[in-house]
Amino acid sequence: MKSIIELNAGLKKQIDEIAEVAGYLWQRGWAERNGGNISVNVTDLIPEEAKSFASLQQVKLPKAFNIIANNYFYVTGTGKRMRYVATKPMENGAIIRLNETGDAYDIIADQLVIPTSELASHLSMHSYMREFRDPNMKVVCHTHPTDLIALTHNKRFLEPNVMARILWSMIPESRIVVPRGIGIVPYNVPGTMELADATILELEKHDVVMWEKHGTLAVGDDIIETFDMIDTLSKSAQIYLLSKQAGFEPEGMTNQQLDDLVDLFNLPE
Ligand code: 13P
Ligand code: ZN
């Protein structure tokens, strides 16, 4: 049987990029077993002939997502390993279509892969981005970066703006690549709507959110860019932790040095 991605070059390119990033998540050591999940709104890339594909399974959602009704998403499968998403994205993820009221979805391709346990959370974020941020924001990428998670185990870093200020000040790139800072979400059980709702509040101001003692989540237009944001913050976290291990407090860039970047790189205030 032909894969849906063979029917549209744009869709194939998108899935190839997801697979590329899944490989990076694994190589970075952020994706133990089935750790992490990815979803991308691929509605504009679905070939006409695939719209009549039979449903492999219909699943009810815990609430109606009417803003993204009839939209299509690629989502990684629950329990699936990123290292295998990297090599076989259509065997470790699926394309789903929300129904006309947005309260259920059909798995339409290629195989009966059950979406991530965080699907309702991802869909709330897609719905929020479409309605209140920017309809071009099509990607939600959640992963478990060891160094960033370590920092969330210290309450001091969870105070407002502390995490962003420290990580920004380690290297100019952090200020430039993650200009909207970092949202902090207190610990909550993975996959719950409580975790999703708390995350959405942070997405008003930020593109990257840290989940206490769990992981990070980044949203954006482009899967590669979401990876880059987390990767850059991870580098800053490593510099911070390495300095501490070497026995000194890293000086960090000054407020003036950080502020100078805002004008120079035309960053959002
Ligand atoms: P899934 O395998 O259901 O996607 O869960 C992985 C995860 O990271 C939960 O937070
Ligand atoms: Zn997780």
User: pLDDT tens, 61-111?
Assistant: 999 999 999 999 999 999 999 999 999 999 999 999 999 999 999 999 999
For residues 214 and 194, is the Cβ–Cβ distance under 8 A?
Answer: no
Provide the pLDDT for residue 202. Answer: 98
Any atom of ligand 1 within 6 Å of the Cβ of 213: no
Atom of ligand 1 nearest to the CA of 35: 8
Residues 6 or more apart whose Cβ sits within 8 Å of residue 235: 170, 171, 173, 174
Question: Is the full-model pTM beyond 0.85?
Answer: yes
Å from CA of 213 to ligand 1 middle: 14
Q: Under CATH, which architecture does the 145-269 domain have?
A: 3-Layer(aba) Sandwich (3.40)
Domains 1-112 and 145-269 share a fold: yes
Any atom of ligand 1 within 6 Å of the Cβ of 79: yes
* Residue ranges with strand state E in the chain: 37-41, 57-60, 72-76, 93-98, 104-109, 139-143, 182-185, 208-211, 215-220
DSSP letters, 53-102, are PPPSEEEE-SS--GGGTT-EEEEEBTT--HHHHTT-TTTSEEEEEE-TTS
Q: Which ligand is nearest to the CA of 82?
A: 1
Q: Check: CATH 3.40.225.10 for 1-112?
A: yes
Any atom of ligand 1 within 6 Å of the Cβ of 35: yes
Residues with CB under 5 A from ligand 2 (ion): 215
Atom of ligand 1 nearest to the CA of 34: 2
List the residue whose alpha carbon is closest to atom 1 of ligand 1: 78
Domain boundaries, the chain: 1-112, 145-269
List the residue whose alpha carbon is closest to atom 4 of ligand 1: 116
DSSP letter at 133 equals I
Å from CA of 262 to ligand 2 middle: 32
Question: How large is the angle between the packed helices 223-245 and 9-27, nearest 10 degrees?
Answer: 10
- Partners of 140 in the β-ladder: 39, 219
Which positions are annotated as active-site residues? 118
Å from CA of 179 to ligand 1 middle: 27
Closest CA to 109 of 98, 119, 96, 122: 96
**Summary count for the chain: helices (H), strands (E):** 10, 9
Å from CA of 31 to ligand 2 middle: 9
Atom of ligand 1 nearest to the CA of 80: 2
Residue numbers in the chain where pLDDT is lower than 50 = none
